[in-house]
Structure 1
Amino acid sequence: MALVDTAFSMLHVLFAGIWAGTTVFYAWRIHPLLSEGDLGVTSAMSITTGLRWLTRIGAVVFVVTGGHMAAMGYGDGRLFSTSMGHAVLGMLALWLVVTGLLEASIGKIQDSLGEGKIQTAGRENQTLIRVAATFSVVLLLLGGYLAQPLG
């Protein structure tokens, strides 16, 4: 079972790093190009579709791997009675927020792009994207806190 636990933990952390890194990179380097009109509709649709699919695949990966880790590490009630358990619950809530922010903003961006409003797509969703990126970094920090040995 230790091998399965290790594999799930590694997959969870690897995918979290990829997802959070992609979100931050998009907010930092790609989205400003959209806001300035320096990115074409086709490219912007392709990039945002990729981020949306990464977010959706991540949802499955995080539920499976995170659920397994929570069941194995906090099955005896520690999820609700320890600071580590509270951090897990906080991370779950924050992950839901980031996923919702990305889904909502990407939907709005793609609607605007479909109407040919490139700069509008960027400017009207800039805050949501930045908040999602910031919270993604917080999720990684919480993950680092949770990586300490249980005991």
Structure 2
Amino acid sequence: MALIDAVMWSLHIGFAVLWTGSVLFVTLAVVPPATRGEVGRGLLSSVVSRLRWITRIGALVFVATGGHMAGQLYTVERLTGTGDGHLLLTMIALWFAITGLVEVASGKAVADGDVADVVTDAKPFFYAAAALSIGLILTAGLLANPFGV
């Protein structure tokens, strides 16, 4: 059983790093030049499409791995009645919010029209997803803290 637990943790953490890093990269490295018209439609569509796929595949991985880990570590009482449980619930809420924001932003960013205009429409959603991604990382750090919350 220890091997499966290690695989689940590794997949979960690996996809979390890939996903949050991708959200931050697109927001900080792609959106600003795209709003200035410095990024072409082909490149923008390619990057945003990859972010969408990472988000969607990550969702499947997170449900499978997170479900396994939560099933091993949490009861309903621990989930709803402890600091660790509240942090986990916060992480789940942040994950849903970020996923929704990425989907909305991605849809707006690849809409028909001038690249700078469509990215400008998508920018607030990307920025919100990035801010919540930082919150997710901080929450994960609190949850992983060996000294307790």
Normalising to structure 2: TM-score of the pair? 0.93
Cα separation, partners in 2 of 1:149 and 1:7, compared to 1, 3 Å = farther
In structure 1, what residue type is equivalent to 2:41?
Answer: V
In the alignment of these two chains, the number of paired residues is 148
Q: What pairs with 1:2-21 in structure 2 (closer than 5 Å)?
A: 2-21=2-21
Seq. identity, % = 41
Q: What pairs with 1:28-107 in structure 2 (closer than 5 Å)?
A: 28-75=28-75, 77-107=77-107
For structure 2, the 5+ residue unaligned runs are none
Q: What pairs with 1:88-127 in structure 2 (closer than 5 Å)?
A: 88-111=88-111, 115-127=112-124
Normalising to structure 1: TM-score of the pair? 0.92
Runs of 4+ in structure 1 deviating by more than 2 angstroms, as ranges, are: 148-151
Q: Could you tell me how far apart the structure 2 residues matched to 1:59 and 1:150 are?
A: 29
| Comparing 27-36 and 76-85, the one that deviates more | 76-85
Q: Could you tell me how far apart the structure 2 residues matched to 1:82 and 1:129 are?
A: 32
Q: Could you tell me how far apart the structure 1 residues matched to 2:138 and 2:6 are?
A: 20
Higher RCO, Cα 8 Å, sep 6+: 1
Please name the residue that 1:138 is paired with. 135
